Amino acid sequence: MNEFEANLPLGKATVYTSEYDPGLLCRIPRKLKRDEIGLTADLPFHGLDIWNAYELSWLTPKGMPVVAMGEFRIPCESPNLIESKSIKLYLNSFNQTRFDDFESVRALMSDDLGGAAGAPVDVRLISTAEFSTVSFATLPGHCIDDLDLAIENYSLDFGILEGAADPQQQVAETLHSHLLKSNCLVTNQPDWGSVLIRYKGSKIDHEAVLRYLISFRQHNEFHEQCVERIYSDLMRFCHPDKLTVYARYTRRGGLDINPYRSNFEYDVANLRLARQ
């Protein structure tokens, strides 16, 4: 563990505070991993990290509890991602704090998260009256998980994608898999996810894509970094004209993180999957 990782709240005993404290938010420079992947300041994609928060509560001016769900959209161009446990601790700090109304809470969260990320963060709060509008969805496109493969390699191997694109076949297709698993960069806890790959260009061999995704199974990296690595490796070896990579991770600590990166799509639906 390096000095930076040692300062993260992940994996450490924690004293939970129920009084508002924006100082709990922990910034992680995106540049640390982007340098490793080979991404420069001129990013080859745009996108968001879409967070869903299922454990939100605060008090009214009279002391009555309020519960809600939250959606936070953090732009990938922000210089920092925000460590997930620190967001959980930050959100818990609202529990015994009194606020005038929903908008006061929303605006405060937007300011605090934006300050930590280093860029504006869009915050939406969902009241109990709106809970019925939140439903499960499925990823579009063709699921590649039924391929009958013999798998022996569970260590990240981007070389699987070399030669996987056939320039003689030009296609536009959407693939998805529910077999993505990686591990937390610091605690080694498993992170489970589903991933959508939408592209236009030389047809990419489905078997190679699935083997590549499965090779993340013992890889240690944060959600956002895994998605940027998948995007970069697909561009590097398969050279699609258009590409979107969108992952939907299962929740931990009342939060799920759903990064998407694209060079042609400017928005994606916040599709809550059955495992979320």
Does the annotation mark 184 as catalytic? yes
Q: List % helix, strand, coil for the chain (3-state, nearest 5).
A: 25, 35, 40
Please state, in angstroms and rounded to a whole number, the distance separating the CA atoms of residues 77 and 47: 8
- Residue from 191, 226, 233, 238 carrying the catalytic annotation: 191
Please state, in angstroms and rounded to a whole number, the distance separating the CA atoms of residues 255 and 16: 16
Per-residue tokens: 243: 């590409």
- Residue from 26, 76, 184, 238 carrying the catalytic annotation: 184
The per-residue DSSP string of 133-174 comes to G-------SEE-TT--------S--GGGGTT-EEEEEEEEEE
Please state, in angstroms and rounded to a whole number, the distance separating the CA atoms of residues 49 and 223: 9
- Active centre residues (catalytic): 184, 191
